[in-house]
Amino acid sequence: MNSSGLQISTLMNNTTSTPDRNMRVNTVAIVVYSFACILGCIGNGLVIYITGFRMKKTANTVWFLNLAIADFIFTTLLPFTIYYTANSYNWIFGKFMCQFNSLILCLTMYGSVFLLTAISVDRCMAVVAAVWSQSHRSPRTAGTACFLIWLLAIVLGTPHAVFRDLKIYPDRVRCGYNYSSDTNLWKYRKRSLIITRFLCGFLIPLIIILVCYCVIIWRYNSRKHKRSLMRFKTIVAVIVAFFTCWAPFHIFQLLQLKTLSETLDMIIEIGNPIVTSIAFLNSCLNPVLYVCMCEDFRQVFKKSILLVLESAFTEDRSLHTFTQRCPSNCTEDLCPDKKKNEDR
């Protein structure tokens, strides 16, 4: 076969393989979305129930309750993304849901990372300025902070909804970004949105969190209380999981701002659904981490499941057990504050 025939054959093979490859990638994404949706709704729903109704209201439970609410809202809207992907990216839910879905996804992403940052700052203040923290740290203060966090998340998430629009093609309707009819303005708004999301939703919170835990580690090391660092293992695991899951997404988004080769463009096109599914997977990980890493939360978690099943099968039984609170030996991460005597 001559070189011309070889090029034509290669081109035909690439053309026919691209749809198959995209279909396989989309199938993987759908499976991950579905897993995150099911596990996230159940797990975060139980966390909301436990922190909202089973545990004594403290600053810690307020933080984790809001974090679970963010993940729960995120996962409840995933069916729209699942259907959109399974339907070959043909959006059938109208313009409002296109914008609303984008708003909620970005809102919960910002809300989660801001809450993790606030928890880290709260932990840092409790170590560095223990007296001040003990006198000012309360459920009401944490609730006010959460309210401000959600307001900021709405402000940053709104542009993602404003620039969302329907793109009508002969065979499908796409839900995508429509920044402007002017090419230069399009590029400017797209760049601004992606960079703002990267800075506010990833880099700046990451820096603040790293600084907080570096201060905490330095403070404990200076006092030779290294064992006390174990109390932070759950929230550190949650933070590491968040940034690990979202890092590939932000990297691929930033790569879209560069003029790359056709090979890299193809990698980005194929990889986008994968990195997006990894980012979405984070919404179901927190309950798993709570159960795996926090013994006291695991005990309350088991009791709550039994309580739900009991109330489902016995309608006429007294519900006095709902007034039970978490055990007195709850950990710092999720349960009421307590004095630990680990340093003896």
Residue 338 resides in a domain: no
Nearest-10 Cα torsion for 259, 157, 160, 162: -140
Q: How many Cβ atoms sit within 10 Å of the Cβ of residue 242?
A: 25
State which residues form the domain around 40.
Answer: 25-309
pLDDT at 330 over 50: no
pTM: 0.80
The predicted structure's pLDDT at residue 286: 86
Within the chain, strands assigned E span 164-168, 173-177
Structural domains counted in the chain = 1
Distances from the Cα of 107 to the Cα of 94, 141, 150, 180, 314, angstroms = 20, 22, 8, 23, 39
CA gap 116, 206 in Å, rounded: 9
Convert the pLDDT of each residue in 134-149 to its tens digit: 888 889 999 999 999 9
pLDDT at 342 over 90: no
Q: Three-state DSSP class for 174?
A: strand
Residue 1 resides in a domain: no
**Mean pLDDT, to the nearest integer, of 67-93?**
94
pLDDT-derived band of residue 167, with 50, 70 and 90 as boundaries? Answer: very high
Residue 119 resides in a domain: yes
The DSSP 8-state label assigned to residue 164 in this structure reads E
Residue 171 resides in a domain: yes
The DSSP 8-state label assigned to residue 122 in this structure reads H
Residue 336 resides in a domain: no
Can you give the CATH number for the domain in which 201 is found?
Answer: 1.20.1070.10
pLDDT at 35 over 50: yes
Residue 29 resides in a domain: yes
Residue 296 resides in a domain: yes
Residue 100 resides in a domain: yes
Residue 55 one-letter amino acid: M
Which contiguous run of DSSP H or E holds residue 84? helix 78-86
